[in-house]
Chain A
Amino acid sequence: MKHTISVLVENHFGVLARISGLFSGRGFNIDSLSVGETEDTTTSRITLVVNGDDIIIEQVMKQLNKLIDVIKVNDLTTDEFIDRELALIKVHANGKTRSEIMQIVDIFRGKIVDVAPSSLTVEVTGAEEKVQGMMDLLREFGIKEVVRSGKIAISRDNKAAHR
Chain B
Amino acid sequence: MSILQGSQILVESLLKEKVDLIFGIPGGVVIPVFDTLFDSPIKVILARHEQGAAHAADGYARATGRVGVCLVTSGPGACNTVTGIATANMDSVPMVVITGQVTTQMIGNDAFQEADIVGITRPITKHNYLVRNVKDIARVIKEAFHIASTGRPGPVLIDLPKDIALATTEFHYPATVDIRGYKPVLEGNMKQIKRAAELINASHKAVIYGGGGVILSNASRELTQLAHKTGVPVTMSLLGLGGFPGNDKLFLGMPGMHGTRYANYALSECDLIIAVGTRFDDRVTGNVEKFAVHAKVIHIDIDPTAISKSVRVHVPIVGDAARILAKMIPLVKRVENKEWLKRIDEWKTQYPLTYTDSEAQIKPQYVVQQIYEATRGDAIITTEVGQNQMWAAQYYKFKSPRTFLSSGGLGTMGYGLPAAIGAQFGVPDKVVFDIAGDGSIQMNIQELATVVHNKLPIKVAILNNHFLGMVRQWQELFHNRRYSSTCLIDNPDFVKVAEAYGAQGIRITQKKDVRPAIEQALATPGPVILDFEVAREENVYPMVPAGAGIREMIEGLA
Residues on A facing B (Cβ under 8 Å): 9-10, 14, 17-18, 21-22, 25, 55, 58-59, 62-63, 65-71
A25 adjacent to B123 (CB under 8 Å): yes
A78 shortest CB reach to chain B, Å? 17
Contacts of A17 in B (CB 8 A): 119, 122
B454 at the binding interface (Cβ < 8 Å): no
Q: How far is the CA of A65 from the CA of B182 in the complex (A)?
A: 9
Q: Is B118 an interface residue (CB 8 A)?
A: yes
Encode contact with A along B150-184: 1 for CB under 8 Å, 0 otherwise: 00000000000000000000000000000111100
- Smallest distance from the beta carbon of A73 to chain B beta carbons, Å? 10
A68:B181 contact, CB within 8 angstroms: yes
Query: Chain A interface secondary structure, helix, strand, loop or mixed?
Result: helix
- For A72, give the chain B residue with the smallest CB separation: B181
Q: Does B305 contact A (CB under 8 A)?
A: yes
Chain B residue with the shortest CB-CB distance to A42: B180
17 contacts between A and B (CB under 8 A): A9-B181, A14-B118, A17-B119, A17-B122, A18-B122, A21-B123, A25-B123, A58-B308, A59-B309, A63-B305, A66-B304, A66-B305, A68-B179, A68-B181, A68-B182, A70-B181, A71-B180
Q: Which residues of B contact A22 (CB under 8 A)?
A: 123
Partner of B181, one of A25, A58, A67: A67
Is B303's beta carbon under 8 Å from chain A? yes
Q: Which residues of B contact A59 (CB under 8 A)?
A: 305, 309
Number of A-B contacts (CB under 8 A): 35
A68 close to B304 (CB less than 8 A): no
Across the interface, do A62 and B305 meet the contact criterion of CB distance under 8 Å? yes
Among candidates A10, A21, A63, A71, residue contacting B122 with C-beta atoms closer than 8 Å: A21
A67 to B304, CA, bound (A): 12
Residues of A within 8 A of B122 (CB): 14, 17-18, 21
Which B residues are CB-close (under 8 A) to A14? 118, 122, 130
Instruction: Specify which chain B residues have a CB less than 8 angstroms from the CB of A58 in the assembled complex.
Output: 308
**Is B14 in contact with chain A by the CB < 8 A criterion?**
no
B182 CB contacts on chain A under 8 angstroms: 68
A68 to B128, CA, bound (A): 10
| A68 contact set on B, CB distance < 8 A | 126-127, 147, 179, 181-182
Cα–Cα distance between A158 and B122 once the two chains are bound (Å): 40
Report the separation of the CA atoms of residues A63 and B127 in the bound assembly, to the nearest whole angstrom: 13
A55 CA / B305 CA spacing, docked (Å)? 11
Distance (Å) between the CB of B183 and the closest chain A CB?
10
